[in-house]
Amino acid sequence: MHADPIMTVGMHAVLSGNPGLRVSTQLGQPEAQSVARVLITDYDAGIALARQPAGKSAVAGPPPGVLVVTQFDKEWEVRLAMDAGVSGYLLQSCAPDELSHAVGLLARGQRYLSESMTRSVADSLTREALTGRETDVLELLAQGCCNKSIARKLGIGVGTVKTHVKGVMSKLDATARTHAVVVATQRGLIRPGGGASAGA
């Protein structure tokens, strides 16, 4: 059940028209979870459901697949959800046919990633991740700090800061410090205005 009631109603309307599907919005009822093959929910609830240990169900078999339908489109958000055990990830802007297709795949035990997110996530898997210290430096770059200020705030030498800045720019394929901040914001590594996001 999605946190947004309008989304819940809309998805119910789309899926109810599919022959062979029994659709319910009563996720809170234990019997609904015990027989469900797919649970459709929002981002936060989806991650929480996927991380739950498999409980004792009245029906033997694999746990239901969790399909997240969300507006979150940053690659780290998608990867966090998939790493948590979410089986499917769709953007709220998807077409009704894509929703039906994703539900069908999850019901058969397969996984699904929104067509619009597949390339972004695939690209991110080939990139070298930032280290924790590089992320710290990137956050301070986003706040407009100079190398001396970053060194002072992190308790490291200016030369070390320069090394980290060089690493950040190389890994983000950025041509300048401001470009690195723009790229990191677009990828969801930091929030606009500075500050790391949960997945950085």
Supply the CATH number for residue 164's domain: 1.10.10.10
Task: Indicate whether 70 and 167 sit together in one domain.
Answer: no
Regions of the chain where pLDDT drops below 50: 56-59, 197-200
**What's the confidence (pLDDT) of residue 105?**
93
Q: Where are the beta strands (DSSP E) in 111-200?
A: 112-113
**What's the confidence (pLDDT) of residue 7?**
84
Q: 113 near 70, Cβ under 8 Å?
A: no
Backbone φ and ψ for 99, nearest 5 degrees, come out as -60, -50
**What's the confidence (pLDDT) of residue 61?**
62
- Beta-carbon neighbour count of residue 186 at 10 Å? 13
Task: Indicate whether 118 and 22 sit together in one domain.
Answer: yes
Domain residue limits at 164? 132-187
What integer best gives the mean pLDDT of the chain? 82
